Amino acid sequence: MDKDVFSLCFMCSVRCPIKVGVKDGHVNWIQGNPHVAGIDGRLCPRGSAGKSLLYDDQRLQSPLIRVGDRGSGNWRKASWEEALDYVGTRLKEIKNTHGGHAIALGERAQLATHVSKTFLKALGSPNHFTHDALCKGSMNTACRSMFGYTDGQMGINYANTKHIVLYGRNIFESINVKEVNTLMDALEKGAKLTYIDPRVNVTASKAHRYWMIRPGTDLALNYGLIHVILKERLYDAEFVEKWVHGLTDLRDFIKEYTPEWAETETGIPAGEIKALAREISREKPAVIFHYGYRCASHQNEIYMRRSILMLNALMGSVEAKGGIFFKKGPGAEGGKPARKLTEQEFPKIEVPRFDKVGTPDFPLPDPAHGVAQILPYAILNEDPYPIKALINYRLDPLMSIADTSGTKKALDKLDLIVTIDINYSDIAWYSDVILPESTYLERTDCVQQMNGLKPMMFLREKAVEPRYDTVEGAIILKRLGERLGIGAYFPYETMDELVDWQLEGTGFTREDFAQKGFVSYGKSPIFWDRNDIPFKTPSKKIEFRSSLLEDAGFPSFPSYEPPAATPEKKFRLVVGRTGLHTHISTQNVPYLNELMKENLLWINKEKAADLGITDGATVEVASACGKGWIKAFVTDLIHPEAVFMVHGFGHEAKLAKRSYNQGCSDALLQENLYDKVGGSPAYHDTFVTVTPV
Amino acid sequence: MSQYYLFQDSKKCIGCHACEIQCKTNKDLPEGPKPCQIIQVGPKFINNLPKMSFIFMPCFHCENPWCVSACPTGAMQQRASDGIVFVQKDLCVGCKTCVSACPWGAPQWNPDTGKVEKCDYCKDRVDQGLEPACVTTCTTGCLKFGKVEEMTQIRRQRHAESVASLENSSF
């Protein structure tokens, strides 16, 4: 029987709405949901490879229990009963001996995150963490310090912008379909694009202005821009007067950071910095200084992100058409959001988190996400207490946290490592038990609350039955919970029952999603009155001078410290993404692997010539914590102080045969350094040598 | 010449290869054959700005197709109704003559079947009133399918707007 199913993609974390064609129980077509504006049937390369993932026989097919050494790849197949009993028994022992807090669970946040948070809360553990801090923890903190909202509560109105500035935000290669299309439409209507990055990429090739900035100096550039904007009074005086707290402090602070000074740091001519400030101010407030997505490059990341937000505030482009805005939830339309299991009452937890977030040691990062890169330190040093078990849910600490060798050392101290995944990720390979999850095409999932200018809800609907012996994550955790005496926190037997429970009280039912795949709370986009913006900071203003920072003992305006000088014969390792792969998770998908099997090391032509490196030659890249081999891409399209590689290659899981040992893993080379104020890793603060082999 | 034209609005193309993947998905092809392909040229600096070109290469569905003339078994055919050039799989013996004959590299080798694959504008979809797979889901909508005379309009419109740029011209 043929049918069309509206659902949500999950080849990356964006979750674009899709329409899946099913024939005789098989997926035979996937396209973007034609009813969603900005999607209009479109789908990116990863989404287009959904069928290639579904019908790949190299993905996980049944629960597995390790029989040899960790990482040796010796497994025995187990039934679900056996695998869950095995994990349940061990978790119970650990909980009884060391307390619930000895169990940690890390995940890449997703629709069932409220289920895994419930699982840990019910066990009495505060140690749920997500991948978010690894991606953008400092940006989250920066946004809260400035507006009182998290980055997740903010959006960007590309459609109406007249000039957008991107700092390494490679929109046309990270590919969020709606974002790409709304920005493309704005460009078509005449919007200007300024792109800043030490390396050229597709987004740079679409820009009206491209600056090959010296790596690590974006903050200096922004200080130069702010200097010009204040000195020449290019800012939106009315907006700034009404809403900015701390303009005088900024004015005093910025005096010494002239565009001429910025030129010496960044390599960008002062005249060009002035020209951008003047040009963009003419279009205010319909301008965007993009605050970034993956914002985890340097140890002073939070101040770089704050400087971007200040530029937006100075342009008045906050809660403005063509600028940045705050997302509206169902409440704005008098509606109610879908329920979450976390609304239940849980036993009180007295111990701090493993990462000490929320304590005076690490006060500012968002406890809703925690700080993942602290995990290896917490385990190794048993600080603040011993962690004994780790559940990895779609998150691979080995390839996502810097310094893989250090992370392995920490994992070796654990009594139990369990992974819930769809593929042989490297962490699955290093686990004691693998619990395979059904793919997004084979499962119904929890409700997606989509806040924005128009609050909506979306659903991921099962398109086909699971091909293998796999189960939905929310059911895996429920069944595990039953074995640990916390089954009552999971009041459902099936995903359908869980979705119905979530929708209770929203005024919508499952049937309302059938026609288009989503429901809307209202009809028109909502912008708040710019004279009445409900900022959630203590001053109710945009805090250039931040009480969040200063109350925690950090300055609002620390003196600029230049990035560490690049040592002789070394390079700053810079990493990024490609449109063909998602982080570490798609390298083994047949169609995506066919188009990109390995990553390359971008190296500047003149530097390569000095080192005797030719294009296509294999080189050894080495840092203080690891080394790897990779082919060189010799080019004049990268700054001489930097080398670049795409993140997520160099897999160690042998049964993911296409991606095994292809390319080089960036995490193997990166040192586990981080922003001690904002919380994100400093992935670009590692220096490497490059040697021909 | 086929009455259809597949236009690539290169200004909007981001070289993401979704077209290639959607094509292979729709035809259930193994690793190897690519009935359509994006070839990247560049990036290189032009007037201090980095530029890249993404050249979209499907089959051009020629009026007098070299591949059809060359095929010894009659597997390679041109539809009389609309000029679409396609392979009748059960007649293909895998001799590769079409591969040699085509100046554009359009016929592709399928190692699993030992036969040729090629772009047929997804004629099964076209016959149902749909567009080819690559066009239907193109990430930026830069691929457009239709009658030739409609397709040239986009370029003319854009050219007109650029010569009449109101900022720096007397228009």
Residue A577 resides in a domain: yes
Q: Is the pTM of this model over 0.80?
A: yes
Q: Is residue A190 part of a domain?
A: yes
Question: Given an 8 Å threshold on Cβ–Cβ distance, is A590 in contact with B31?
Answer: yes
- Total beta-carbon pairs less than 8 A apart between chain A and chain B: 94
pLDDT band at B166; cut points 50, 70, 90: low
> Residue B121 — φ and ψ, nearest 5°?
55, 25
What CATH number should be reported for the domain holding residue A316?
Answer: 3.40.228.10
Q: Do A45 and B26 touch (CB under 8 A)?
A: no
Terminal-to-terminal C-alpha distance of chain B: 39
Considering the domain architecture, whether residues A306 and A380 belong to the same structural domain is answered as: no
Q: How confident is the model at residue A451 (pLDDT cuts 50, 70, 90)?
A: very high
Tell me if A180 and B31 make a contact (CB, 8 A cut-off).
Answer: no
The pLDDT, as a whole number, for residue A596 is: 98
- Quick one: A38 and A88 in the same domain? no
The backbone torsions φ and ψ at residue A673, rounded to the nearest 5 degrees and listed phi first, read: -105, 155
Contact B45 A636 (CB under 8 A): yes
Residue B171 lies in a domain: no
CATH at residue A425? 3.40.50.740
Q: Do A107 and A25 fall within a single domain?
A: no
Does the pLDDT of residue A407 top 90, yes or no?
yes
Looking at beta carbons, which residues of chain A come within 8 Å of B22?
43, 48
DSSP 8-state assignment for residue A337: P
A89 in the same domain as A41? no
Q: In a mutagenesis test of the B interface, which of A201, A205, A441 is the best target, namely the one with the most B β-carbons within 10 Å?
A: A205
> How many Cα neighbours within 13 Å face the side chain of A665?
26
Model pLDDT for residues A266-276, shown as the tens digit of each residue? 999 999 999 99
Domain count, chain A: 4
Residue A448 buriedness (CB in 10 A; 0-12 / 13-18 / 19+): middle
- Which of A241-250, A319-328, B41-50, B97-106 comes out lowest in average pLDDT? B41-50
Q: A688 by DSSP, 3-state: which?
A: strand
Q: What are phi and psi of B21, to 5 degrees?
A: -70, -40
CA distance B76 to B117: 10
Which residue matches tokens 């849980």? A346
Task: Say whether A205 and B22 touch across the interface (CB within 8 A).
Answer: no
B168: in domain: no
For residue B119, tell me if it sits in a domain: yes
Beta strand ranges found along A636-683 (DSSP E): 642-646
Residue of A nearest to B19 (CA): A45
- Residue B165: predicted pLDDT: 65
Judge if A641 and A601 occupy the same domain: yes
Q: Are A121 and A139 contained in the same domain?
A: no
- Partner residue opposite B137 with nearest CB, options A41, A52, A188: A41
CA distance A408 to A421: 19
Q: Are residues A103 and A167 in the same domain?
A: no
Q: Which chain B residues have a beta carbon less than 8 Å from that of A29?
A: 26
Distance CA A513, CA A457 (A): 9
Domain residues for the domain of A482 are 64-134+345-356+367-445+468-490
Residues A140 and A17 both lie in one domain: no
Residue B170 lies in a domain: no
What residue in B sits closest to A206 (Cα-Cα)? B51
Quick one: closest CA in B to A40, which residue?
B137
Mean pLDDT across the stretch A516-543?
96
Q: Is residue A383 included in any domain, yes or no?
A: yes
Number of domains in chain B: 1
CA–CA distance, A213 with A609 (Å, rounded to integer): 22
Question: CATH code at B111?
Answer: 3.30.70.20
Give the model's confidence band at A1: pLDDT under 50 very low, under 70 low, under 90 confident, else very high: low
Whether residue A476 sits in one domain with residue A604: no
Which residues of chain B make contact with A597, given a CB cutoff of 8 A? none
**DSSP 8-state secondary structure symbol assigned to residue A7:** E
How confident is residue B45, by pLDDT bands cut at 50, 70 and 90? Answer: very high
pLDDT digits (tens, 9 = 90+) for A52-110: 999 999 999 999 999 999 999 999 999 999 999 999 999 999 999 999 999 999 999 99
Nearest CB to B14 within list A48, A180, A595: A180
Contact A210 B49 (CB under 8 A): yes
CATH code of the domain containing A35: 2.20.25.90
* B159 compared with B110, residue with greater pLDDT: B110
**pLDDT category of residue B158 using cuts at 50, 70 and 90:** confident
What mean pLDDT is predicted for residues A123-133? 97
Q: Which residues of A touch B (CB under 8 A)?
A: 29-32, 40-45, 47-49, 51-52, 172-173, 175, 177, 180-181, 184, 188, 200, 202, 204-210, 579-580, 590-592, 594-595, 636-637
Per the structure block, which two tokens stand in for A224?
A: 């130069």
Residue A119 domain flag: yes
Per the CB < 8 Å rule, is A45 touching B139?
yes
Buried b (16+ CB within 10 A) or exposed e, A613-629: beeeeebebebebbebe
Predicted confidence band of residue B55 (pLDDT cuts 50, 70, 90): very high
Q: Is residue A586 part of a domain?
A: yes
Whether B169 maps to a domain, the answer reads no
Examine the domain organization and report whether A286 and A397 are in the same domain.
no
Evaluate whether A167 touches A301 at the Cβ level (below 8 Å).
Answer: no
What is the spatial distance between Cα A85 and Cα A435, in angstroms, rounded to a whole number? Answer: 12
Structure token pair of residue A530: 């710019």
User: What's the whole-number average pLDDT of chain A?
Assistant: 97
Task: Please provide the size of chain B in residues.
Answer: 171
Pairing label, strands A64-66, A389-393: unpaired
Å from A398 to nearest chain B CA?
Answer: 28
Residues A197-215, mean pLDDT to the nearest whole number: 98
Gap from B55 CA to chain A (nearest CA, Å) = 14
Which residues on chain A are in Cβ contact (under 8 Å) with B166?
Answer: none
CA distance A245 to A239: 11
Asked if A48 lies within 8 A of B51 by C-beta distance, the reply is no
Rounded to 5 degrees, what angle do the CA atoms A478, A480, A486 make? 70
Whether pLDDT at A241 is above 60: yes
Residue A259 sits in the same domain as residue A319:
yes
Judge whether A24 lies within some domain. Answer: yes
ipTM passes above 0.85? yes
Residue A30 covered by a domain: yes
Q: How many CB atoms within 10 Å of residue A304?
A: 26
Q: Is residue A556 one of the residues assigned to a domain?
A: no
Q: Shortest Cα distance from A54 to chain B (angstroms)?
A: 11
Sign of CA dihedral B100, B102, B106, B112: negative
Domain span holding position B86 = 4-163
Residues A201, A191: one domain? yes
DSSP of A132-178: HHHHHHHHHHHHHHHHSS-GGGEEE-GGG-SEEEEES--HHHH--HH
